[in-house]
Amino acid sequence: MLGSFGSSSHEEEDDPSPPDHHHHHVHYHLHQSHQIQHQPFTSPAIHMRQLLISCAELISSRSHHDPSAAHHLITFLMANSNPYGDSTERLIHQFTKALSLRLNRYAATAAITNPKQPVSGHVNTFFLTPQADEQTLLQASYLSLNQVTPFIRFSQLTANQAILDAIDQGQEAIHILDFNIMHGLQWPPFMQAVVERYPPPKLRITGTGNDLETLRRTGDRLAKFAHSLGLKFQFHPLLLLNEVDPIAVVASSVVLLPGEALAVNCVHYLHRLLKDRDGLRLLLHKIKVMNPRVVTMAEREANHNHPLFLQRFVEALDHYAAVFDSLEATLPPNSHERLNVEQVWFGREIVDIVAGEGDHRRERHERFKSWELMFRSSGFNNVPLSPFALSQAKLLLRLHYPSEGYQLHILNDSFFLGWQNQPLFSVSSWR
């Protein structure tokens, strides 16, 4: 039922990610994004794209004693982009804002080290350090994202099916460790599938997050839904305040009860841990020792963790061009939901990738090939996703997002969801 890793703390590193490899049996061309010309970039758009890259080159050259050329380009790009225009204009606007924040951050740093250096503008950290009201905006945009795009549903429901396939019929109890459970939207469809088994197993979910009150509200909602189904259910909130916590907290807090089958769910989470590659490996080893029936993972199919800023910038530009193009094609021009998703959710990600550095940067997406190497080196093997999972994913796209632009492909027994010829998300299953 459906329901090389960078550990960068500086702009430049000498530990680049392992290169992607071509696979002759795959429909997608998984090569470097700067070699791809995407649908959204028509002739005027190609010119604007090149101006954006030129601006990024100026900023990355670190010749900030005279940032006037970059400032002029940013002024021009802002004047010729529009947050309410077509997909290209909206994309250019978001990336120009992010470049402006990065340039102003350098200007502020220069002013501290050289008081005579004038500072142009100020560093807006709205997206980098969200406070309470900003968290509310992010939560609302996440719910919109879940409604207007297939990205979240595809990831969560495919992971659900992988868990169902890995756990035997007649299993007495299931324990799910869900990293970054957020609102718990993934689990009602799973509960509906579980309760159809005979006898229905007990279900226990340990959900992690960085806000205890949000976790408790999520647990309450899930408990009420489970009760309505007659499903025996327990929820345990597990507070992880930063990216250093998971190893120690998980090792000490997650205890299996007799008769429980463990599933570990990592949907759009592990990329946050890539700034500490050794720590992530240690966490995967800890999870392996717990002997889960399955570990599910969903991640972006993009390299936004490249050690070189300019390469990271071009990767992000091409990735989000495809994302914005998909929104343009599937939502009406005056869609409030699309505006919310682009400016708040994706806008925050773009600012993080482009303007953030060091510990500030969280959106460290890597391609599936890198994740595959990481998991295999930690003792995991890829578990093929089932034909039923594939038919469910196809049904999701056909019923809820009827656009020929969305494409679903299989590579190394894992699923890739993309727009036109560009893969955007992967879902895989490991044991």
- Residue 274 in tokens: 């890539």
Give me the mean pLDDT over the 112-138 stretch: 49
The pLDDT value given to residue 138: 86
Strands 294-300 and 422-430: antiparallel
What is the enclosing helix (H) or strand (E) of 57?
helix 43-60
Residue 206: burial class (beta carbons within 10 Å; 0-12, 13-18, 19+): buried
Residue 50 lies in a domain: yes
Residue 233 lies in a domain: no
The pLDDT value given to residue 281: 92
Sign of torsion over alpha carbons 85, 89, 91, 95: negative
- Residue 71 in tokens: 């400032």
Secondary structure letter of residue 16 according to DSSP: P
pLDDT digits (tens, 9 = 90+) for 37-57: 444 555 777 889 999 999 999
Give me the mean pLDDT over the 213-225 stretch: 97
pLDDT digits (tens, 9 = 90+) for 12-28: 433 333 333 333 333 33
Secondary structure letter of residue 126 according to DSSP: T
Identity of the amino acid at 325: D
Cα–Cα distance between 166 and 296 in angstroms, integer?
A: 10
- Residue 124 in tokens: 């807006």
Residues in the chain: 431
The pLDDT value given to residue 106: 59
Cα–Cα distance between 26 and 23 in angstroms, integer?
A: 6
| pLDDT reading at 353 higher than 90 | yes
Residue 21 lies in a domain: yes
pTM here is: 0.83
| pLDDT reading at 372 higher than 70 | yes
The pLDDT value given to residue 108: 55
Question: Which range among 79-83, 312-316, 373-377 shows the weakest confidence by mean pLDDT?
Answer: 79-83
The pLDDT value given to residue 167: 96
The pLDDT value given to residue 243: 60
Give Cβ neighbours of residue 126 (< 8 Å, ≥ 6 apart).
Answer: 134
The pLDDT value given to residue 107: 56
Question: Which range among 52-56, 173-177, 253-257 shows the weakest confidence by mean pLDDT?
Answer: 253-257
Residue 285 lies in a domain: no
Cα–Cα distance between 28 and 24 in angstroms, integer?
A: 9
Question: Which range among 33-47, 239-253, 303-317, 319-333 shows the weakest confidence by mean pLDDT?
Answer: 33-47
Residue 239 lies in a domain: no
Residue 173 lies in a domain: no
Q: Which residues pair with 428 in a beta bridge?
A: 297
Sign of torsion over alpha carbons 164, 166, 169, 170: negative
Distance of CA 89 to the CA centre of its chain: 23
Range(s) of the domain holding residue 307: 1-167+293-431
Residue 259 lies in a domain: no
User: What CA–CA distances, in Å, run from 160 to 167, 324, 408?
Assistant: 11, 27, 17
Give me the mean pLDDT over the 293-302 stretch: 98
212-229 and 187-195 helices cross at what angle (nearest 10)?
Answer: 30
User: What CA–CA distances, in Å, run from 355 to 95, 123, 294, 360, 404?
Assistant: 10, 10, 36, 9, 34
The pLDDT value given to residue 18: 39
The pLDDT value given to residue 39: 47
Residue 113: burial class (beta carbons within 10 Å; 0-12, 13-18, 19+): exposed
Residue 124 lies in a domain: yes
Average confidence score pLDDT of the chain: 84
| pLDDT reading at 305 higher than 90 | yes
Number of domains in the chain: 1
